[in-house]
Amino acid sequence: MYLLRSLVFALYMLLFFLPFTGFVAISFWMSLAQRYAFVTRWNRATTMWMFEHVLGIPYRVIGRENLPSEPAVILAKHQSAWETLAFADIFPPAAYVAKRELLRIPFFGWGMARMPIVTIDRSGGKDALRQVVEQGRALMAQGYSVVVFPEGTRTAIGTQRRYKIGGATLAVAAGCSVIPVAHNAGEFWRRNAFIKRPGEIVVSIGPPIAAAGRTAEAVNAEAEAWIEGEMHRLFPHHYQSQALARAGLARS
């Protein structure tokens, strides 16, 4: 059954989602705000419906009262492709930070380039950080929050990578709040896995973290502590299994 569900979803992505992103790429007559509203409504009515009713992956949000009323930097775990689409359904108007090479992907990348987005050259070092701040502040001035995955790449649930400082640097430069987010999408939608497994994704939105007048290092550390603490609180079984696996490797 899991395989059949995943096949149907893959056909949807091939026959409907990718052509739609191609249409977005040529929607020159729309303003950025109009295009964003159109795409997010379509995403809610189709892709989110497929997530819940075909893949059997609904979601539940904890901490909706912490949703920002003004542009903020959203720092979140990155475990799968789920959050790159679902966050548009959860958060207020938001742009993503993404690596520039994604824009070269036929259809998907072309459509992404027409949306509010912060693109960076990950090999650029300090230039990449400058790109995040400059592009991010410009989008925030237009009313968009900015979603940053501080670990930089998808990580399996129960694991952690180093939190990069770009998102916190943007928040300090913009004088806005950071909204920390934990979730367990990787439990059902694993990285590069064709077969998705049904289950409820829990998204926990933390209290705003003030960034104005602070160092990026302090803001980043506070966001990391909340996110990782919330991951351990909500999904302790994943960390226990990882610890057991590491212990087994150490004994062998």
User: DSSP characters for 88-106?
Assistant: HHHSSSEEEEEEGGGGGST
The architecture in CATH of the region 2-251 reads: 3-Layer(aba) Sandwich (3.40)
Neighbouring-strand partners of residue 251: none
Spatial distance between the Cα atoms of 210 and 198, rounded to a whole number of angstroms? 36
State residue 248's pLDDT score: 57
Q: What's the token pair of residue 40?
A: 């997010």
Q: How confident is the model at residue 199 (pLDDT cuts 50, 70, 90)?
A: very high
Task: Please write the tens of the pLDDT for every residue from 45-61.
Answer: 999 999 999 999 999 99
State residue 21's pLDDT score: 94
- Tell me how crowded residue 141 is: count the other CB atoms within 10 A of its CB: 10
Of 106, 104, 130, the closest CA to residue 118 belongs to 130
Residue-averaged pLDDT of the chain: 92
Q: How confident is the model at residue 247 (pLDDT cuts 50, 70, 90)?
A: low
Please return the burial class of 162, using the count of CB atoms within 10 Å of its CB with bins 0-12, 13-18 and 19+. Answer: exposed
Q: What's the token pair of residue 58?
A: 């609904």
Q: Are 205 and 62 in contact (CB under 8 A)?
A: yes
State residue 104's pLDDT score: 87
